[in-house]
A and B are shown apart, each in its own frame.
Chain A
Amino acid sequence: MLISPVAVSLYKVLIIVNVLMGGVAGMTWVERRLSAVIQYRLGPNRVGPFGLLQPIADGIKFMMKEEVVPAEANKLIFTLAPALSLVTAMCAFSVVPFGPTVELFGREIALVIVNVDGGILVALAATSLGVYGIVMAGWSSNSKYSLMGGLRASAQMISYELALLLSLIGVVLVSGTLRPVEIVAQQAGWFWNWNVFGGWQLLGFVIFVVAGYAETNRLPFDMPEAESELVAGYHTEYSAMKFSMFFMAEYINMITVSALAVTLFLGGYQLGFPVPFSGWPLWMLQILAFVGKLAVFLFVFVWVRWTLPRFRYDQLMALGWKGLLPLALANLMFTALLVALDVIKR
């Protein structure tokens, strides 16, 4: 009963949700300390050693604060919006394999929550539903800043979703499957087998990362919450835990986009070089490799945010529609040609 397939799935969900939440807490600390380093100041260093307990203090603060709901707001939708943002952000992670199939307690356990046909589409469906959280928040707050933020967010996310989807099709063409588990399995061995090198997907990778930054509404594409024009965009009217849920959703989206980039382009949990041993030392190392690659991506996310200035809105749209979309189409044609000419063999 304790290790029936359903129970195992539940354990996996439980572990992933907790790890993601822990990752969010860690990321807030990293973001604040790293931004401090970039700006030549100290950052939060009072709570615990190196300020490591700061996320806990922040969490307590968010829970103790007063919840303010605007009088003219649509209460139901105002309350649903942050929850929807958080849930859709988490759903997308369910198809990412964070390790190989391992043997634990005498049974085979795949280190992924769901392995369905068309797994990549699950992640895309979840991110495309993520727009609703922001749109609902923007509309229900009944404030012009929120509304403008929500409108900008939906326009931006729909525009960049196209480039994101098209850059993924290259990987799908090369691997011939939509299951992330199989895509990762094909990238085993040396690191030149990874899709970004062996699959000739360097351009697709760059497009995916740029579009990913826009999808997660991070700088230099954080138009929806541009402080100097919109106060705080779609979450202007939110306070306490509801605000913090938007915050968590943003960080989980960052983690998910990074995880997808690692899985589809950079070999997922594969080490990148053959090792002479197998069994538990290998899969432990592979999980570490996955986390390590993820950490590099998240570091770059923070680094970019505190280094680059914000785009103007028309520049953002021009980049999406006139830059990334044609590039992604060209990448698709190029990959199709390579596959048809048997240059890429999987």
Chain B
Amino acid sequence: MESIAFIVLSILALASALVVVLPVVRNAVVCALALAVNLICVAGFFFLLQAQFIGFLQIIVYAGAIMVLILFVLMLLNVHDERHLGSSGFFQRYLGPLLAVGFVALLVTSLVASLQGAEFPRAGAAYGTVATLGQELFTRFFYPFEAISLLLVVAMIGAVLLAKRRL
């Protein structure tokens, strides 16, 4: 049952990710919608890993809020045809792919290195519940958690300041 769900989700996630980046669909809004499907698939992976809370947050925050805002901008710009926005210039044409390949190589090597000799204990029933996560966040990870919230506030105020010089 779990592996069937995993396979279906993987195929959907890969397909939607390919729709986003491959030049088959030349429509920014359709690409954004495919990205939303991809994000929901990732939430599905979280559910399979018994991390329900993070899965729900993935849907509410990423698929439900951030992607909608991106869609909002795309719809307002109303970009119908993107062909004339194709890659141009030395950096985009040659350095871009090189950097991408380098990044993938880095990811693969670090994954392989970290997987060697690693053990995967089965997660308990309480793993990934709201209670467990909250307990960890407010005890063990209290200072990092507060630091991140401070960083977010700073980012928010900064964005408002940059966008609206005169309030």
Interface residues of A (CB under 8 A from B): 74, 77, 116-118, 121-122, 124-125, 128-129, 131-132, 135-136, 138-139, 147, 150-151, 154-155, 158, 161, 178
A132 lies within 8 A of B36 (CB): yes
Q: A121 to chain B: which residues have CB within 8 Å?
A: 53, 56-57, 60
Extra contacts, 19 of them, besides A118-B130, A121-B56, A151-B76 (Cβ < 8 A), are A74-B27, A77-B33, A117-B52, A117-B130, A118-B53, A121-B60, A125-B60, A125-B64, A128-B59, A128-B63, A128-B65, A129-B40, A135-B71, A150-B75, A151-B75, A155-B72, A158-B65, A158-B68, A178-B130
Mask: chain B, 38-49; 1 = CB below 8 Å from A; 0 = not: 001000000000
Shortest Cβ distance from B40 into A: residue: A129
Q: A77 to chain B: which residues have CB within 8 Å?
A: 29-30, 33
Q: A154 to chain B: which residues have CB within 8 Å?
A: 68, 71-72
Mask: chain B, 62-86; 1 = CB below 8 Å from A; 0 = not: 0111001101100110100000000
B76 lies within 8 A of A128 (CB): no
User: B92 on the interface (CB 8 Å rule)?
Assistant: no
Give complex CA distance A129, B59 in Å. 8
Query: What does DSSP make chain A's interface, helix, strand, loop or mixed?
Result: helix
Shortest Cβ distance from B36 into A: residue: A132
Interface residues of B (CB under 8 A from A): 27, 29-30, 33, 36, 40, 52-53, 56-57, 59-60, 63-65, 68-69, 71-72, 75-76, 78, 129-131
Shortest Cβ distance from B43 into A: residue: A125
Q: A147 to chain B: which residues have CB within 8 Å?
A: 75, 78
Give complex CA distance A178, B134 in Å. 12
Give complex CA distance A50, B112 in Å. 72
Give complex CA distance A150, B75 in Å. 9
Q: A131 to chain B: which residues have CB within 8 Å?
A: 64, 68
A128 lies within 8 A of B52 (CB): no
A135 lies within 8 A of B56 (CB): no
10 closest A-B pairs by CB: A128-B64, A121-B56, A125-B59, A117-B129, A125-B60, A128-B60, A139-B75, A131-B68, A118-B130, A125-B56
Give complex CA distance A154, B72 in Å. 8
Q: B52 to chain A: which residues have CB within 8 Å?
A: 116-118
Shortest Cβ distance from A165 into B: residue: B60
Give complex CA distance A147, B71 in Å. 12
Q: B63 to chain A: which residues have CB within 8 Å?
A: 128-129
- 6 A-B pairs (CB sep. < 8 Å): A121-B56, A128-B64, A128-B65, A135-B68, A138-B75, A147-B78
| Chain B: minimal CB distance from A142 (Å) | 10
Q: B130 to chain A: which residues have CB within 8 Å?
A: 117-118, 178
B72 lies within 8 A of A129 (CB): no
| Chain A: minimal CB distance from B61 (Å) | 9
**Interface hub of B53, B71, B78, B129 (most chain A Cβ within 10 A):** B71
Give complex CA distance A243, B7 in Å. 35
Q: A139 to chain B: which residues have CB within 8 Å?
A: 29, 71, 75
Q: B29 to chain A: which residues have CB within 8 Å?
A: 77, 139
| Chain A: minimal CB distance from B24 (Å) | 14
| Chain B: minimal CB distance from A124 (Å) | 6
Give complex CA distance A154, B130 in Å. 28
Give complex CA distance A200, B36 in Å. 38
| Chain B: minimal CB distance from A315 (Å) | 20
Shortest Cβ distance from A178 into B: residue: B130
Q: B69 to chain A: which residues have CB within 8 Å?
A: 158
Q: B53 to chain A: which residues have CB within 8 Å?
A: 117-118, 121
